[in-house]
Amino acid sequence: MKPAANSPAPAPHAPVAHVLDAFRLDGVRALVTGASRGIGRSVAVALAQAGADVALGARSHGALTETACLVAKEGRTAVPVPGDFAEAGVAETVVDDAAAALGGLDVVVHNAGVLPSLPDGSPAMAPLQDSAQEDWDRVLSVNLNATAALCRRAHRHLVESSRASVVLMSSLAGVAGTPRMEAYAASKAAQISLARSLAAGWARAGIRVNALCPGWTRTDMTAFAASTAPLSDWLMAHVPMGRWAEPDEVARAALFLASPAASFLTGQALLLDGGASVPDGGLAGIPKPPSPFAA
């Protein structure tokens, strides 16, 4: 058992022989949620490539099997732990199943999340005044309440680890105004706040907690925007680097936060957004196309 939260600070982190070794996760037992596709799948593979065994959480068991095959190709153990975080008690079950299968937990990357959706599964983009309370409740339930439940249950396992790290997958939407995505933005801002509070509360137990905030990333969730030229062009005009991020770029940042390379980093929100969070997107002098949301 590691020291209690009010005990003296842990000993300084042990040095590594080579700087690249600091990015290794050999023998680490990791849980990645939302691992069936997109960013979550890329994170799971990246952690496996760095040496971790990975438990894979998501709603779709079939898609998790595909991710498990990719992890296994890296020579690491892959354990699907399916569950729908919209259901009460599932977050706790996923954590316990992952810890039981791997013999404990050292790293948790919580990537599972939702947007309000239409009956066909496409995102429901509506201003708050025109949105349904049911959509708000579902988004906050999955993106915030389940996050808290997962972290609460993970603590009992992470406190036994000497290399414990939690990465909450927040979003640029959590730090920037995001019209028509108010519920999602509020839930992602809350994840940042939760990461900071847990980082302060759990630091003396040796558990690091950070938030990772990707900007516009090319995934199934954002396909509605990436595949619509006027909308995509308008969004990219606000990104100084002028392009969408790819899931593997987000995965590399998650690996950094989870690894010993970030051993003195906790309570932070790492923005991975191509410069979009720079005031006015860093593009004050560059004309932007009209907003497709303009009345």
Q: If you average pLDDT over residues 34-47, what whole number do you get?
A: 97
pLDDT of res. 191: 98
Confidence band of 260 (pLDDT split at 50, 70, 90): very high
Q: Is residue 22 predicted with pLDDT exceeding 80?
A: yes
pLDDT at 3 over 60: no
The pLDDT score that the predictor gives to residue 61 is 85
- The more confidently predicted of residues 30 and 291 is 30
Residues 6+ apart with CB under 8 A from 116: 123, 124, 126, 131, 132, 135, 136, 138, 139, 183, 184
Is the pLDDT higher at 47 or at 4?
47
Please provide the average confidence, as pLDDT, over all residues in the chain. Answer: 91
User: Which letter does DSSP use for residue 77 in this model?
Assistant: -
Percentage of residues in the chain having pLDDT higher than 90: 74
How sure is the predictor about 36, in pLDDT bands with cuts at 50, 70 and 90?
Answer: very high
Distance CA 184, CA 84 (A): 18
Domains of the chain, CATH where assigned: 22-223+246-282 (3.40.50.720)
Q: Which of 35, 214, 184, 37 has the alpha carbon at shortest distance from 123? A: 184
Q: In the prediction, which pLDDT does 263 show? A: 97
Return the pLDDT at 7: 56
- Can you tell me the mean pLDDT for 267-291? 82
What pLDDT score was predicted for residue 15? 76
Name residue, tokens 């040496």: 51
Mean pLDDT over 263-285 rounds to 87
pLDDT digits (tens, 9 = 90+) for 99-151: 999 999 999 999 999 998 888 777 888 999 999 999 999 999 999 999 999 99
Among 85, 184, 202, 244, the one annotated catalytic: 184
Of residues 19 and 281, more confidence is placed in 19
Whether 21 has a pLDDT exceeding 80, the answer reads yes
Assess whether pLDDT exceeds 90 at residue 229.
Answer: no
- The 8-class DSSP code of residue 19 comes to G
Residue 5 has a pLDDT of 47
Q: What is the pLDDT of residue 270?
A: 98
Q: Is the pLDDT of residue 292 over 80?
A: no
pLDDT of res. 8? 58
Higher pLDDT, 222 or 247: 247
Q: What is the pLDDT of residues 161-189, one digit of tens each?
A: 999 999 999 999 999 988 899 999 999 99
Q: Is 88 helix (H, G, I), strand (E, B) or coil?
A: coil
With 90 as the cut, is the pLDDT of residue 291 above it? no
207-214 and 269-272 strand pairing: parallel
- 184 catalytically annotated: yes
pTM over 0.85: yes
Half-sphere exposure of 71 (CA within 13 A, CB side): 31
Q: Spell out the long-range contacts of 196-202 with Cβ–Cβ below 8 A and sequence spacing 24 or more.
A: 196/267, 196/269, 198/151, 198/166, 199/266, 199/267, 199/268, 200/267, 201/5, 202/5, 202/155, 202/158
Window from 49-53, 176-180, 195-199, 227-231 with minimum mean pLDDT: 227-231
